[in-house]
Amino acid sequence: MRSKMQQLGLIALGVCLGVMISLNFSAVAEREVLGPLPVEELRAFTEVFGRIKADYVEPVADKKLITEAITGMLAGLDPHSAYLDQDAFRELQVGTQGEFGGLGIEVGMEDGFVKVVSPIDDTPASRAGIKAGDLIVKLDDTSVKGMTLNDAVKAMRGKPNTKITLTLVRKGETKPIVVTLTRDVIKIQSVKSKLLEPGYAYFRVTQFQEHTGETLATAIQALFKQNQGPMKGIVLDLRNDPGGLLNGAVAVTAAFLPQNSLVVYTEGRTEDAKMRLTASPENYLRGKLRDDYLARLPAEIKNVPMVVLVNGGSASASEIVAGALQDHKRAVIMGTQTFGKGSVQTILPLGNSTAIKLTTARYYTPNGRSIQAKGIAPDITLDDGTRSEANLKLREADLTKHLTNDRSEEKAPVAASPTVNSFNFTPAVRPKDVDEKDLKPIPGEVVAKSDYELSQAVSFLKSRGAVRTTAN
């Protein structure tokens, strides 16, 4: 029996240019085949293989045919199962370290085209104005139609300082948008922090990487020291965070919950796909790391009033964090419905530096909610300024062949989001005609000048303080 951490392995996002997914890296690929092999179907496969070898208009290498067969077999299951060739496997492993070459776009496949899930902060894609929901139809002069996601990702990757031209289709635009980007080394700073004003701390997690938990712990200690007084409120920003490593999600959640609180559990067909992960060191410390960096956090971090900001770009590991903090009533979730990625993919190495990425489990919040194809409903919904174009927002439920939500309303009713009135808080109207440049942080800054969602989070926290003071 593998240890829990071996079972857990690396839960990661297909970084930089991959759709948001949770991955479980496994060192053991051999499994007993369940039931007899389908002899007739295998005979048909070999016959097709032979016909192609003998009759196709041009010679085809055996390796290519087998690789394409494996690719098609996995792609036909769900949006997240896939074959990883040597390059894709290597890039996936490198990407979890937080540094890789590319454009900085999280993408998925939809109707044969590449659809932008979210541009990553401070990357060529973000600076060029690429938006979530954009449909990439051409890479340079090559149509994306017919490409696999891995092929498209490979084409967009490349050496830093090389250029690539993307042709985009955007809802509301009458003509395609052509953007030329210069590839760069994408270095993702997974945690950004700022003391917004005395007593109010802001932490943004852009992606869950190997050292996100440690980095967050350091940021928490620094801001609490900088504050030089009681902390009155915390904002955890998970907007457009596409996910990442599961141990990172557990660590971030554990920073704010009592030790041993349930964070997430998974269920699958095999025993090692069934896990219960709690806010305890054995579930967030990886490899040889034995220093419990969360043990040094100030005790009050578990009790300071807290808001978590989410949106449609918050996926996978982000939803695990938001769901756990919501179920334990540790934080109020504000924003819009999250992406709805509630499955786990296991990486099974094949021994030739390739691997398959196979969906092996669903994950559930502590209260037993499945967010698959649903997402996390915020406690307080905020106007995101795009309600008239809601159909532009790509979510798990929009992906072809997505897994269904196995928890019906009867089995596990989704907790109704508390109404705004239950908090005695009414969000301000979203300002209109805001200068576009004020909606993104300027270089060197952590927050944007006109961040409506953040301003509402702080206003809510201040209202909680006022209520508490009055009651006392």
Q: What tokens does 107 get?
A: 């993408």
Overall CATH class of domain 99-187: mainly beta
Share of the chain above pLDDT 90, in %: 55
- Is the CB of residue 16 less than 8 Å from the CB of residue 149? no
pLDDT of 179 reads 95
pLDDT of 13 reads 32
Output 170 or 91, whichever has higher pLDDT: 170
Same fold for the pair 99-187 and 191-286+296-343+364-471: no
Q: What tokens does 426 get?
A: 């009414």
Q: What tokens does 396 get?
A: 């798990």
Query: Could you tell me the CA-to-CA distances from 341 to 19, 44, 451 in Å, in that order?
Result: 10, 35, 26
pLDDT of 390 reads 43
192/364 Cα distance (integer angstroms): 28
25/4 Cα distance (integer angstroms): 12
DSSP 407: S
Under the banding of pLDDT at 50, 70 and 90, the label for residue 117 is: confident
389 pLDDT exceeds 90? no
Range with lowest mean pLDDT among 78-82, 109-113, 135-139: 109-113
Residues 6+ apart with CB under 8 A from 156: 17, 102, 103, 105, 139, 164, 166
- Is the CB of residue 156 less than 8 Å from the CB of residue 184? no
**φ, ψ of residue 309 in degrees (nearest 5):** -95, 130
Active-site residue 341, yes or no?
yes
Closest CA to 18 of 207, 190, 171: 207
- Is the CB of residue 23 less than 8 Å from the CB of residue 345? yes
Q: What pLDDT digit, counting tens, does each position of 403-457 carry?
A: 999 885 544 434 434 444 578 899 999 998 888 778 877 766 899 889 999 999 9
Closest CA to 186 of 165, 157, 212, 163: 157
pLDDT of 435 reads 81
468 pLDDT exceeds 60? no
Catalytic residue, chosen from 134, 237, 327, 398, is 327
258 pLDDT exceeds 90? yes
pLDDT of 9 reads 35
pLDDT of 385 reads 77
Mean pLDDT value of segment 51-64? 95
Catalytic residue, chosen from 194, 341, 357, 374, is 341
Query: CA-based diameter of the chain, in Å?
Result: 85
Output 243 or 419, whichever has higher pLDDT: 243
Under the banding of pLDDT at 50, 70 and 90, the label for residue 158 is: confident
Active-site residue 26, yes or no?
no
Query: Which amino acid, 147?
Result: M
Share of the chain above pLDDT 70, in %: 84
pLDDT of 217 reads 97
158/143 Cα distance (integer angstroms): 18
Mean pLDDT value of segment 24-32? 46
Query: Which amino acid, 118?
Result: S
Catalytic residue, chosen from 193, 316, 318, 370, is 316
Query: Which amino acid, 26?
Result: S
Can you say whether residue 64 is alpha, beta or left, with left for phi > 0 and alpha for psi between -120 and 50 degrees? alpha
The CATH number of 191-286+296-343+364-471 is which of 1.20.1340.10, 3.90.226.10, 3.40.50.2000, 3.30.530.20?
3.90.226.10
Q: What is the mean pLDDT of the chain?
A: 84
Q: What tokens does 472 get?
A: 């006392």
Q: What pLDDT digit, counting tens, does each position of 303-335 carry?
A: 999 999 999 999 999 999 999 999 999 999 999
User: What are the counts of helices (DSSP H) followed by strands (DSSP E) for the chain?
Assistant: 11, 20
Which pTM value belongs to this model?
0.77
Q: What pLDDT digit, counting tens, does each position of 357-375 carry?
A: 999 999 999 999 999 999 9
Under the banding of pLDDT at 50, 70 and 90, the label for residue 143 is: very high
Active-site residue 327, yes or no?
yes
pLDDT of 95 reads 57
Residue 260, burial from CB neighbour count under 10 angstroms (0-12, 13-18, 19+): exposed
Mean pLDDT value of segment 5-9? 36
Q: What pLDDT digit, counting tens, does each position of 206-226 carry?
A: 989 888 999 999 999 999 999
230 pLDDT exceeds 80? yes
CA atoms within 13 A on the CB side of 271: 5
pLDDT of 391 reads 46
Q: What tokens does 322 get?
A: 């938001």
Any idea where the domains of the chain sit in the sequence? 99-187, 191-286+296-343+364-471
Instruction: Work out the end-to-end distance of the chain between its first and last CA atoms, rounded to an integer number of angstroms.
Output: 54
